[in-house]
Chains A and B, each alone.
Chain A
């Protein structure tokens, strides 16, 4: 299973973290520091796998972002690489040629997309189309609620209640 997903920028800034195995806050920042030290220093064109603490970290660089997933030692490395690519494609489709800034300003949306892709550390949806449909449905649900909440009359009504 996937233990965690990390998105790290080339400068070592964290862009997204999702933990499927229990790691405490302190451990989390330690893991991130350790791994970004290992992964960011690796030269291009080397293999995409790093053996780490009895687990394996599969990473791939897209533009300025490193997508990393930590899997069990006997998990299939190439499959994990495919999942990473799958995730990037979905992000790309959703944001329209995704860039790092998209993920910075829509950080929660990246989470919702990841939640549709993976659950409990396993791939749950292999169809890009289905994920796009599910996300769109949620977005419209949120938008309608937002419009209602943001109408000035609503705010005044709430405040003077």
Chain B
């Protein structure tokens, strides 16, 4: 091996290397003796290896490579630099060196190794070697490192070994074929016949086993190609005693059965035989898996499999079997949910299991069971379970519940009152991290389901009032939603003052500023609501006063009571009387607000500061001297009344959801000139002394600073609205034409919503695209309330069955007009939609009424359609449901010529 050019020094160094080279053992020992120095030792060893591996002595080289292989496998050292040295060792006759070379190559070579092209001839030579271990090395190398090119070059050589009389070689060659076929699918035409022959090999079961393994993997890629081999597989299924082979054959059948249902009848018997006879749990489980996923139409074997699953559950010592039992149930088609229901207790108990995998499977199964009749029962079980589970699983449970309950616009839910309280309960789970999703659903339900708004505010109140919840940062999003709800739907609140106290409690300083901004805005809305209620009351009593002098006295009585001055009673004490909105209560509330909000007016955060100043401005205006006599009310009260009424108008319009594509529904008017230059824009602007609106984020703040008084900020929107209307009147050509002008704000200009921005919190803006949604309050009924849906191009409405078709139509049309000013054309669309809604209505009614008994009979029906296993009635023609699979004759798939010649399963099997 020594080259003729080698100098004396290189010879001597090589000799030194050889004599004093550290062996693999030495390397391992040194690494183990100093674990702290590992990186240093490894780099030193690497330097050593780099020198040694260039040695001309084959032993030195092989030991160096062995050490490198060790470092690469255990310490993840990159050994790609030694690829060529590994190849150098392959041609050696010494088995030890050859083996080291092959091992290094098979561990380190991959598709990006360029020198791999050099090994082809050496491997070919080794494949032809008379020595079994040498052939084995070459085959093992190919089985892990074959590239497409190598596979193409060597498939013939491997093919020759498939018929070898040396069984060990033949076995390895068979297994290696799999890798070659995966790399180069075309070579299947070369090896296919030999493979089939090997499957029928009677002398050595190991060869059958290897062949079945290959077919099992290949059938996963394209099962149809292997359908013609069904008789051979069947023979193995009946004859083989080897569990490993049987498991593989069952897997193959599981893939073939969907293509050829007639096979089912044939294999049912052997499978039930195996299930009865064998002691191997692995084989039993494979049979169960095959039966539950593919042979569900065969009553006897199906029941047998279910019995085996129950056995798995009973053996509670072995968590593997319990896991597999649950896994088996999860393979069942939805039709067989009764089977899952039968085992419901076991599954619910599994939620308590110490193994997260088992818990996870059990949760999946339970979520599959949920339907509208049991959703309440199961959800309560799950929420309780989440309370006692570890944080990770608790959140998995909550997440699963949230997503299934909200699926397809809450289709599972009838009782939203319950669901809203469930959301509240979920929020109270100490592990809850699903704040974002709960927030989304609270707001979503608030917008979609009108009937539940009173319950929502109750839930929101409970959440807001609890100081403990403020500690958990994951709940802040939920609290933000609760605060928004408390402001938006304050009219349903039993006690708005309580809400104000909750919103301003000292611990709110734990909240992030963005949520605090929402809190303050909610306070703003509540003040307006309280004052307008108060004013309503006065107006009413004044009205009645004109008719009845006694009523007048009552008003004075209330007023004089407030005159007695505020004592330090808390608001809630004052509220014991039926009369909620007395002057005393209001002024107490204003004092409280002033005290709590004042520090925030110098807050660093603009959102908080701006809103705090809004609130303070409002408080400042509203805090006027107490109206003592009738006359004193006149001026101040009028002023207050104006402000309150104006602001209330801004809030009173309920914001409803609008589909994201609403804008697209607006037809472009025929006279709408999009291509014209806006050359005269200057003159228009000049006329109006207006500026092009800018959307810099700075603007709102500057605006805010100019006007600290609230009346301006309240009137500004109206000003801009009237300005807009004015502008529109003059330059109508630049606006989209509208058929109907709504009264709100005077026009339909899409941006008109912008003037509400000041009153809407940021988070809500994110959540919904709003429109004005005039809504008539519907009575709370026990049946499913209306859930407004906006989906894709069409809005589908599921109506309250009692509200009937007409109402659904009206409300839908009304909203659409508001949202996007539809013309006649789209109105007809809306009519169509509402017709659909009527249909959906009847469907939902059907679902709603369905009681347990009905459901049971429905299951029965399903079962009958799919061969009720309990009846044991089988379809006479199970295959009639399936079209017999047609094949392309062009052979374009993977070109399995041999298989195509006899594609159909021979009749002897069927």
Tell me how far the C-beta of A11 lies from the nearest C-beta in chain B, rounded to whole angstroms.
10
User: What 3 A-B pairs have minimum CB-CB distances, sorted nearest first?
Assistant: A78-B282, A120-B143, A122-B213
Question: Which B residues are in CB contact (< 8 Å) with A74?
Answer: 251
- Residues of chain A within 8 A of B74, CB atoms compared: 13-17, 107
Contacting pair A46 B76 (CB below 8 A): no
**Which residue of A28, A119, A161 is within 8 Å of B140 (Cβ)?**
A119
Considering the chains assembled together, what is the distance between the CA atoms of A142 and B355 in angstroms?
Answer: 47
Known contacts being A47-B320, A120-B176, is A16 close to B96, with CB within 8 Å? no
Name the residue of chain A whose CB is nearest to the CB of B106: A115
Knowing A108-B103, A142-B96 touch, does A78 contact B110 (C-beta < 8 A)? no
Given A20-B144, A111-B103: A122 and B175 interface contact (C-beta under 8 Å): yes
Are A47 and B319 in contact, CB atoms less than 8 angstroms apart? yes
Given contacts A20-B144, A115-B140, A145-B94, contact A107 B73 (CB under 8 A): yes
In the complex, which residue of chain A has the Cβ closest to the Cβ of B245? A126
Measured in the bound complex, the distance between the Cα atoms of B178 and A149 in whole Å is 38
Closest-by-CB residue of A relative to B93 is A145
Which residues of chain B are within 8 angstroms of A125 by Cβ–Cβ distance?
Answer: 171, 206
* Known contacts A15-B74, A79-B247; A122/B96 CB under 8 A: no
Interchain CB contact under 8 A, B357 and A119: no
Per-position 1/0 for B1-31, Cβ under 8 A of A: 1100000000100110011000011001000
Question: Are A142 and B99 neighbours in the complex by a CB distance under 8 Å?
Answer: yes
B209 within 8 A of A: yes
Please, how many angstroms separate the alpha-carbon atoms of A141 and B1 in the complex?
22
Bound Cα distance A32, B76 (Å): 10
B72-97, CB < 8 A from A: 73-74, 76, 78, 94-96
> Considering only CB atoms and an 8 Å cut-off, how many residues of chain B contact the other chain?
70
Q: Which of B151-178 contact A (CB under 8 A)?
A: 168, 171-172, 175-176, 178
A1 close to B (CB within 8 Å): yes
For B73, list chain A residues within 8 Å (CB).
Answer: 14, 16-17, 107
Q: Which residues of A contact B28 (CB under 8 A)?
A: 104-105, 107
B285 touches A78 (CB 8 A): yes
Residue of A nearest to B112 (CB): A24
Q: Which of the residues A105, A115, A155 comes within 8 Å of B25, measured between beta carbons? A: A105
Known: A47-B322, A77-B320, A126-B206. A149 touches B59 (CB 8 A): yes
B interface with A by C-beta (< 8 Å):
1-2, 11, 14-15, 18-19, 24-25, 28, 32, 57, 59, 66, 69-70, 73-74, 76, 78, 94-96, 99-100, 103, 110-111, 133, 136, 139-140, 143-144, 168, 171-172, 175-176, 178-179, 206, 209-210, 213-214, 217, 220, 242-244, 247, 251, 280-282, 285-286, 289, 319-320, 322-324, 354-358, 360
Q: Which residue of B lies closest to A74 (CB)?
A: B251
Given A24-B110, A145-B96, residue A43 in contact with residue B354 (CB < 8 A):
yes
Pair A79/B244 contact, Cβ less than 8 Å: yes
CA gap between A124 and B280 in the complex, in Å: 19
Is A99 part of the contact surface with B, judged by Cβ < 8 Å?
no
Most buried by B among A19, A111, A115, A126: A115
A residues 120-148 in Cβ contact with B at 8 Å: 120, 122-126, 134, 137-138, 141-142, 145-146
Query: Taking beta carbons and an 8 Å cutoff, which residues of A are in contact with B?
Result: 1, 13-17, 19-20, 22, 24-25, 28-29, 32, 43, 45-51, 72, 74, 76-79, 81-82, 104-105, 107-108, 111-112, 115, 119-120, 122-126, 134, 137-138, 141-142, 145-146, 149, 155, 158-161
Which chain B residue lies CB-closest to A116? B136
> CA–CA, A158 to B2, complex, Å?
8
Q: How far, in whole Å, are A107 and B68 apart by their CA atoms in the complex?
A: 12
> Which residues of the partner chain A approach B280 to less than 8 Å between Cβ atoms?
78
Distance between B389 CB and nearest chain A CB, rounded to angstroms = 15
- Shortest distance between the CB of A126 and any CB in chain B (Å): 6
Min CB gap A119→B, angstroms: 4
| B70:A107 contact, CB within 8 angstroms | yes
Residue from A79, A138, A155, A160 in contact with B19 in the complex, judged by beta carbons closer than 8 Å: A155
Complex CA distance for A158 and B57, rounded to whole angstroms: 8
- Would you call A104 and B32 a contact (CB within 8 A)? yes
Residues of B within 8 A of A155 (CB): 15, 18-19
Contacts of B175 on A, CB cut-off 8 Å?
Answer: 119-120, 122, 124
CB–CB B94/A25 < 8 A: no
Contact A123 B213, CB 8 Å, known A19-B144, A79-B247: yes
CB distance from B431 to the nearest CB of A (A): 19
Q: Which residues of chain B are within 8 angstroms of A15 by Cβ–Cβ distance?
A: 74
Min CB distance, A105 to chain B, in Å? 6
- State A94–B403 Cα separation when bound (angstroms): 54
- The answer to whether A46 touches B247, judged by C-beta atoms less than 8 angstroms apart, is no
Among B140, B209, B324, the residue within 8 A (CB) of A78 is: B324
CA distance A146 to B285 in the complex (A): 48
Given A74-B251, A78-B320, A123-B213, CB of A142 within 8 Å of CB of B206: no
A124 adjacent to B206 (CB under 8 Å): yes
Given contacts A126-B209, A159-B11, contact A79 B178 (CB under 8 A): no
User: Of all chain A residues, which has the CB nearest B213?
Assistant: A122
CA–CA, A32 and B133, complex, Å:
31
Report whether B357 and A126 are in contact in the complex, using a CB–CB cutoff of 8 Å. no
Nearest B residue to A138 via CB reads B133
Interface contacts beyond A1-B178, A16-B74, A46-B354: sample of 6 additional A-B pairs, CB < 8 Å, sorted by A: A46-B356, A79-B247, A119-B210, A122-B175, A159-B15, A161-B2
Q: Are B78 and A49 in contact (CB under 8 A)?
A: no
Query: Within 8 Å CB of B178, what residues of A?
Result: 1, 120, 122
Closest to B178 in A: A120
Are the CB atoms of A76 and B286 closer together than 8 Å?
Answer: yes
